């Protein structure tokens, strides 16, 4: 995962260089392949509005993606509560581990994805989740425990 | 510390991600950005400058137009492509302006052909429609952004840049008659290609070439002839360039436009043919390794029977450059045959729609108004 950015990137270069990675991240965070590109596009639109003032665009847009995915989760939860459930979202192919990940609380899932997909250190994950690094460790610890419990009873 | 479960989790996520192949969608971005601006009540329009940045295989052609503010100094902007390039002034923190940049996207490349030269240089050729408005002005970047006589469609407060090619790596090479980038020199050391004067037989469409060896890569672009040449014996050098000096594996290239009577084109150095190619739609790209460049090299066109049709020096398109890398000559590059066709005037639109774009035609790049910040 190419997370590194440079100070000399233009917005266009940044967009082209990071769009695909962020869509993958969004898909893993949201569990929705269909929604991920739209979520990331919105995040880039938001970044574009602040491009000249954002000092570190990658952490900025990554945090936006995490928040957008959390909002997507909340929205989908509301949709599922409303009959009839006509909306059929294309989700990632289900399997045991994916199902277990999907059942995790949003922040735990985000922490796990950012750690084990993004290979981000605690500090960066904390920046994306707006919490302390110790909280990140706690989230991941509890998430792993839940996953183990689900998959390896 | 990791265990098997964490490895399994990591492998699972990586596998999921590898199964997805999202592509940047500049059009969707523009539409969303425009929609957001509309919701905010920001008046759309006001900026008509367009620029073009080629993705060089990596990017899908996304570029910024430096239309943020007339007070923005291009000279102070960091650049990986050269002084005064569009978008270069819009790097994060490069400007104190709170107004985000307007944006323009390049049309996708159309693949022409790929070939491997006699010396093992892999050459890929593409065409790329330009979104530049107001006609073709290849040397626009050498004109102060506030006074752009060559491009009347460029507003006085915008920096209209020529179509350029984004380097694969942040480095530079040299070239003539077009732009050429490549190699692995440190950022900031890019050598900007002296751009030739507008070719009367050219449009704003670009011929983009990407070249690679096992040690280095480079790319370049030249203006594309507007139509097939009027004379069968046409043999015109559209541009030359080189790359790979930093890697110690220099390669020089030349793009040639030929007429219908030319069955093959050879690049000869000191009387020895180093590369040859059968024209593809009248376009030939030849490459030669070595640190001598194309000095003394010739391009020889032969017909089907092997008879020489025309010979021109490979350095035909070279234009002397001033200290800023801008061409000092405004004349037409020499050629054996010159076909004069007026370059079509393209129209800039703020929102691309299928109805306004003919299939296969260059798509006008959407040029966003600057969204309100905050």
Q: B106-121 pLDDT, tens per residue? A: 566 778 888 888 788 8
B33 pLDDT above the threshold of 80: no
Number of inter-chain CB pairs under 8 A, A vs B: 159
Mutate to test the interface with A, among B22, B34, B82, B103 (most CBs of A within 10 A): B22
B231 pLDDT above the threshold of 80: no
B97 contacts on A by Cβ (under 8 Å): 52
Burial environment of residue B354 by CB neighbours within 10 A (0 to 12, 13 to 18, 19 or more): exposed
A140 pLDDT above the threshold of 60: yes
Which of B33, B78, B105 faces A8 most closely, judged by CB atoms? B78
Gap from B258 CA to chain A (nearest CA, Å): 35
A48 contacts on B by Cβ (under 8 Å): 29, 33, 100-101, 103, 371
ipTM comes to: 0.80
CA distance A117 to A110: 10
Q: Report the pLDDT value the prediction gives residue A136, as an integer from 0 to 100.
A: 94
Name the E strands within B101-200: 102-105, 109-116, 122-128, 164-165, 174-176, 178-182
What is the CA A77 to chain-centroid distance, rounded? 17
Gap from A125 CA to chain B (nearest CA, Å): 16
Taking Cα atoms as reference points, which of A45, A56, A79, A64 lies closest to residue A7? A56
B87 contacts on A by Cβ (under 8 Å): 10-13
**Per mean pLDDT, which range of A73-82, B128-137, B187-196 is the poorest?**
B187-196
Mean of per-residue pLDDT scores for chain B: 58
Higher pLDDT, B102 or B87: B102
Which of A12, A36, A50 faces B62 most closely, judged by CB atoms? A12
Q: Determine the angle formed by the axes of helices A106-116 and A96-103, rounding to 10 degrees.
A: 130
Give B162's DSSP letter. -
Contact B284, B265 (CB under 8 A): yes
Cross-strand pairs, B266: B276, B300
A144 contacts on B by Cβ (under 8 Å): 5-6, 9
B103 contacts on A by Cβ (under 8 Å): 11-12, 48
Which of A7, A15, A92 faces B93 most closely, judged by CB atoms? A7
B137 pLDDT above the threshold of 70: no
Q: Report the pLDDT value the prediction gives residue B4, as an integer from 0 to 100.
A: 82
CA distance B326 to B328: 6
What Rg, from alpha-carbon coordinates, does chain A have?
16
Q: Report the pLDDT value the prediction gives residue B351, as an integer from 0 to 100.
A: 33
Q: Report the pLDDT value the prediction gives residue B243, as an integer from 0 to 100.
A: 85
A6-48: pLDDT as tens digits = 455 678 888 888 999 999 999 999 888 888 999 999 999 988 8
Q: Report the pLDDT value the prediction gives residue B309, as an integer from 0 to 100.
A: 84
B94 contacts on A by Cβ (under 8 Å): 52
Cβ-defined contact of B103 to A11 (cutoff 8 Å): yes
B283 pLDDT above the threshold of 70: yes
Cβ-defined contact of B53 to A36 (cutoff 8 Å): no
Cβ-defined contact of B371 to A45 (cutoff 8 Å): yes
Cβ-defined contact of B93 to A36 (cutoff 8 Å): no
B9-27: pLDDT as tens digits = 888 888 888 888 888 888 7
B345 pLDDT above the threshold of 60: no
Q: Report the pLDDT value the prediction gives residue B121, as an integer from 0 to 100.
A: 87
Q: Please compute the mean of the pLDDT values over residues B301-319 and round it to a whole number.
A: 78
Return the number of other C-beta atoms located less than 10 Å from residue A95's C-beta. 11
Gap from B66 CA to chain A (nearest CA, Å): 10
Q: Report the pLDDT value the prediction gives residue A43, as an integer from 0 to 100.
A: 92
CA distance B184 to B187: 9
A134 pLDDT above the threshold of 80: yes
Of A134-143, B51-60, B336-345, give the range with the top mean pLDDT: A134-143
Cβ-defined contact of B13 to A19 (cutoff 8 Å): no
Residue of chain B minimizing CA distance to A16: B59
Q: Report the pLDDT value the prediction gives residue B310, as an integer from 0 to 100.
A: 85
**Per mean pLDDT, which range of B38-42, B185-189, B256-260 is the poorest?**
B185-189
Which of B8, B55, B64 faces A10 most closely, judged by CB atoms? B64
- pTM of the entire structure? 0.39
Of A35-39, B184-188, B296-300, give the range with the top mean pLDDT: A35-39
């Amino acid at each position: 995962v190419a997370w590194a950015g440079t100070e000399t990137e233009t917005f266009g270069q940044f967009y082209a260089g990071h769009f695909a990675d962020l869509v993958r991240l969004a898909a893993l965070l949201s569990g929705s392949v269909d929604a991920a590109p739209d979520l990331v596009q919105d995040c880039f639109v938001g970044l574009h509005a602040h491009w000249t003032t954002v000092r570190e665009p990658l952490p900025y847009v990554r945090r936006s993606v995490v928040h957008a995915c959390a909002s997507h989760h909340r929205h989908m939860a509301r949709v599922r509560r409303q009959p009839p459930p006509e909306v059929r979202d294309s989700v990632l192919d289900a399997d045991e581990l994916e199902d277990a990940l999907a059942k995790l609380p949003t922040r735990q899932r985000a922490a796990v994805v950012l750690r084990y997909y993004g290979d981000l250190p605690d500090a960066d994950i904390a920046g994306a989740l707006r919490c302390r690094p110790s909280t990140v460790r706690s989230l991941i610890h509890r998430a792993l425990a839940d996953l183990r419990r689900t998959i390896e009873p | 510390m990791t265990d098997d479960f964490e490895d399994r989790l990591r492998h699972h996520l990586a596998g999921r991600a590898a199964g997805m192949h999202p592509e940047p969608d500049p059009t969707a971005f523009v539409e969303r950005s425009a929609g957001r601006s509309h919701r905010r009540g920001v008046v759309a329009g006001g900026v008509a400058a367009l620029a073009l940045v080629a993705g060089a295989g990596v990017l899908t052609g996304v570029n910024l137009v430096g239309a943020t503010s007339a007070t923005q100094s291009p000279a102070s902007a960091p650049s990986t492509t050269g002084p005064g390039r569009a978008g270069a002034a819009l790097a994060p923190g490069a400007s104190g302006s709170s107004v985000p940049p307007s944006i323009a996207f390049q049309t996708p490349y159309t693949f022409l052909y790929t070939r491997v030269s006699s010396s093992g240089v892999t050459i890929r050729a593409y065409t790329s429609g330009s979104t530049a408005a107001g006609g073709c002005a290849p040397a626009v970047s050498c004109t102060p952004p506030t006074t752009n006589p060559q491009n009347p469609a460029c507003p006085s407060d915008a920096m209209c840049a020529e179509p350029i090619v984004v380097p694969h790596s942040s480095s530079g090479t040299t070239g003539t008659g077009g732009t050429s980038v490549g190699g692995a020199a440190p950022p900031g050391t890019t050598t900007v290609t002296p751009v030739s004067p507008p070719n009367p037989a050219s449009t704003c469409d670009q011929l983009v070439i990407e070249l690679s060896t096992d040690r280095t890569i480079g790319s370049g672009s030249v203006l594309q002839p507007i139509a097939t040449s009027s004379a069968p014996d046409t043999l015109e050098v559209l541009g030359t360039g080189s790359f790979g000096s930093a890697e110690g594996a220099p390669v020089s290239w030349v793009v040639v436009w030929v007429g219908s009577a030319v069955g093959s084109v050879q690049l000869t150095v000191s009387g020895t043919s180093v590369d040859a190619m059968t024209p593809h739609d009248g376009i030939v790209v030849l490459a030669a390794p070595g640190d001598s460049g194309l000095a003394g090299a010739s391009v020889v066109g032969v017909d089907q029977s092997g008879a020489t049709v025309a010979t021109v020096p490979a350095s035909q398109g070279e234009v002397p450059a001033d200290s800023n890398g801008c061409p000092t000559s405004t004349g037409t590059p020499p050629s054996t045959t010159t076909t004069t066709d007026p370059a079509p005037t393209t129209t800039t639109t703020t929102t691309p729609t299928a109805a306004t774009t003919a299939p296969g035609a260059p798509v006008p790049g959407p040029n966003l108004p600057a969204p309100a910040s905050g």
